């Protein structure tokens, strides 16, 4: 049961978040607070002390308690990354499995894996559509949905792709087991072991693992936290190295959260086209922008460009459905064959369920609601990090998705921080797993899509103490 002081602290915390008390405001005096809220002075003291510990308030001698909330403007963004422009095999990805396994443990506060908490997912709608899929479509649900996958789902995805400025025929689409399989198939279709692949830096660690498992070399390209891949650096890299593919997440990348401007997307296609290098476009976060205007994928900007478009419903509907897709362009036949020999088919029931969620408009309704939720979650986490962490940090300001990338003071070893934090029940994603060559030693990524409660505040206080 929540104690009286914890309840009072929570009410005051909500007041601070809602702007009732602003940075620098003096909080009501202890006697006034106890009279207003009908609690003892001792309870009021304990509530203020709790908020002081969490970094919301500071006590000033003989003057009382003041709000300490600092604005996000006080945390600048990290600079453009500066990886060595040289291909390298991927190393050090073993720790990732430990990170991912932590998501099973309910005692661990999950700030590490980019998995949305159930509050951000349309759980009831997904559940209903799964049941309906199994009951109402028995024959379809119980047979293989051989590649390219369920025709109705492909028709509805094609319709959506047209709506986001990327006209696509259902026959150009192949259903996959999530975006991870789409990326793997794309890379397998256009590379051979030993080939060089240009990627963003920092880059989603799952991609690094695919690159490692296929025996490829990663060429990390400097990346701007607002605009994405540095096109000048990419051009140099293309002139210098035998790059066979380029992978990018132009809409709300993971972990930087940037949205590449359309002009840069066009230039990216141009540069790659001139070099004869296919683009593997990962658009998994494309529907999760904070702005109602859905950004266009690169694929939609030039119909003739060699783009293998990959996406999934893992972040928008449910990661457990394992439904994704790929539009591989001229590589369709190869990708289809690789999918077939890899695992024959993607499960039928989730495909039918997703088709139903798209057809009924529930997917769009959910997106309209969840975009604001993600924006608020990122803002709240950013503010809390600024409150708790040392002042000399830098934080990205994503325009979509739900992760933030934090540069910690120089000298911090985020791998060590992650180990100690896990021992104290907090999971975070340390910077080096986002680099083929284990750069970003003093960076961490935090997921903001968590249910906000006192545990999160305590987890951030724990991280701050360990720092």
CA distance 100 to 110: 10
- The single-letter DSSP state of residue 77 is P
**Rounded to the nearest whole angstrom, what is the least distance from the CB of residue 228 to ligand PLP in the complex?**
13
Pick the binder of ligand PLP from 179, 199, 208, 375 (CB under 6 A).
179
Q: Is residue 248 within the footprint of ligand PLP (CB under 6 A)?
A: no
Residues numbered 26 to 55 that lie near ligand PLP (CB under 6 A) are: none
Q: Please, is 398 exposed, middle or buried when counting C-beta atoms within 10 Å of its C-beta (0-12, 13-18, 19+)?
A: buried
Kindly determine how many residues on this chain lie close enough to bind ligand PLP according to the rule CB under 6 A.
14
Q: Is residue 114 within the footprint of ligand PLP (CB under 6 A)?
A: yes
**Rounded to the nearest whole angstrom, what is the least distance from the CB of residue 401 to ligand PLP in the complex?**
8
- Choose between 179 and 338: whose C-beta lies nearer to ligand PLP: 179
Q: Is residue 286 within the footprint of ligand PLP (CB under 6 A)?
A: no
**Rounded to the nearest whole angstrom, what is the least distance from the CB of residue 221 to ligand PLP in the complex?**
16
Residues numbered 118 to 137 that lie near ligand PLP (CB under 6 A) are: none
Residues numbered 350 to 369 that lie near ligand PLP (CB under 6 A) are: none
**Rounded to the nearest whole angstrom, what is the least distance from the CB of residue 438 to ligand PLP in the complex?**
19
- Find the part of the chain contacting ligand PLP (CB under 6 A) among 27-35, 178-186, 411-419, 421-429: 178-186
| CB-based contact 332:167 (threshold 8 Å) | no
Residues numbered 265 to 284 that lie near ligand PLP (CB under 6 A) are: 282, 284
| CB-based contact 166:300 (threshold 8 Å) | yes
CB-nearest residue to ligand PLP: 178
Q: Is residue 204 within the footprint of ligand PLP (CB under 6 A)?
A: yes
- Find the part of the chain contacting ligand PLP (CB under 6 A) among 173-181, 226-234, 379-387, 453-461: 173-181
Q: Is residue 210 within the footprint of ligand PLP (CB under 6 A)?
A: no
Pick the binder of ligand PLP from 312, 348, 396, 397 (CB under 6 A).
312
Pick the binder of ligand PLP from 110, 180, 184, 209 (CB under 6 A).
180
| Residue with token string 């009951």 | 135
- Choose between 78 and 319: whose C-beta lies nearer to ligand PLP: 319
Alpha-carbon dihedral angle through residues 324, 328, 329, 331, given to the nearest 10 degrees: -150
Give CB contacts under 8 A, 24+ apart, made by 356-360.
356/129, 356/132, 356/133, 357/122, 357/125, 357/126, 357/129, 357/317, 358/153, 358/156, 358/157, 358/159, 358/160, 359/152, 359/156
* Closest listed residue to residue 278, CA positions, set 354, 346, 195: 195
Task: Give the CA count within 13 Å in the CB-facing half-sphere of 224.
Answer: 14
- Find the part of the chain contacting ligand PLP (CB under 6 A) among 120-128, 177-185, 427-435, 444-452: 177-185
Q: Is residue 178 within the footprint of ligand PLP (CB under 6 A)?
A: yes
Helix axes 454-466, 362-388, angle to 10 degrees: 40
Give CB contacts under 8 A, 24+ apart, made by 428-433.
428/111, 428/112, 428/463, 429/99, 429/111, 429/112, 429/113, 429/114, 429/205, 429/255, 430/95, 431/202, 432/92, 433/92, 433/93, 433/95, 433/96, 433/99, 433/205, 433/208
Q: Is residue 449 within the footprint of ligand PLP (CB under 6 A)?
A: no
Pick the binder of ligand PLP from 145, 189, 249, 448 (CB under 6 A).
249
Residues that bind ligand PLP (CB under 6 A): 114, 178-180, 204, 206, 249, 254, 282, 284, 312, 314, 319, 324
């Amino acid at each position: 049961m929540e104690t009286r002081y914890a309840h009072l602290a929570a009410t005051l915390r909500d007041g601070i978040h809602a702007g009732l008390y602003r940075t620098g405001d003096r909080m009501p005096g202890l006697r006034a607070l106890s009279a207003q809220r009908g609690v003892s002075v001792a309870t009021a003291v304990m509530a203020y002390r709790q908020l002081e510990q969490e970094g919301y308030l500071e006590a000033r001698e003989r003057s009382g308690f003041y709000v300490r909330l600092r604005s996000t403007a006080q945390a600048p963004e990290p600079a453009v990354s500066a990886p060595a422009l040289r291909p390298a095999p991927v190393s050090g990805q073993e720790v990732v499995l430990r990170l991912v396994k932590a998501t099973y443990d309910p005692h661990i506060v999950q700030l590490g894996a980019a998995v949305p908490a159930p509050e951000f997912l349309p759980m009831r709608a997904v559940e209903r559509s799964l049941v309906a899929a199994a009951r109402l479509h028995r024959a379809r649900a119980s047979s293989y949905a051989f590649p390219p996958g369920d025709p109705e789902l492909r028709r509805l995805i094609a319709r959506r792709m047209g709506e986001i400025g990327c006209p696509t025929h259902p026959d150009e689409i192949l259903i996959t087991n999530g975006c991870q399989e789409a990326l793997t198939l794309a890379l397998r279709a256009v590379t051979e072991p030993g080939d060089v692949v240009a990627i963003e830096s920092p880059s989603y660690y799952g991609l690094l693992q695919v690159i490692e498992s296929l025996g490829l070399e990663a060429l990390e390209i400097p990346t701007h936290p607002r605009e994405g891949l540095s096109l000048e650096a990419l051009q140099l890299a293309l002139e210098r190295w035998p790059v066979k593919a380029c992978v990018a997440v132009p809409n709300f990348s993971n972990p930087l959260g940037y949205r590449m401007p359309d002009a840069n997307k066009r230039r990216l296609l141009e540069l790659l086209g001139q070099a004869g290098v296919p683009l593997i476009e990962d658009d998994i976060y494309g529907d999760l922008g904070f702005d109602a205007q859905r950004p266009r994928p690169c694929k939609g900007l030039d119909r003739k460009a060699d783009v293998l478009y990959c996406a999934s419903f893992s972040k928008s509907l449910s990661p457990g459905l394992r439904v994704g897709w790929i539009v591989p362009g001229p590589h369709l036949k190869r990708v289809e064959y690789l999918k077939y020999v890899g695992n024959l088919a993607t499960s039928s029931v989730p495909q039918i369920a997703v088709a139903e969620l798209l057809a009924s408009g529930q997917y769009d309704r959910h997106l309209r609601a969840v975009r604001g939720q993600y924006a608020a979650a990122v803002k709240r986490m950013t503010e809390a990090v600024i409150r708790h962490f040392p002042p000399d940090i830098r934080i990205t300001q994503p325009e979509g998705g739900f992760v933030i990338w934090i540069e910690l003071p120089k000298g911090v070893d985020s791998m060590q921080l992650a180990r100690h934090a896990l021992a104290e029940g907090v999971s975070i994603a340390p910077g080096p797993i986002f680099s083929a060559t284990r750069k970003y030693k003093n960076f961490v990524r935090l997921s903001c899509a968590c249910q906000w409660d006192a545990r999160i505040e305590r987890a951030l206080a724990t991280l701050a103490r360990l720092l």
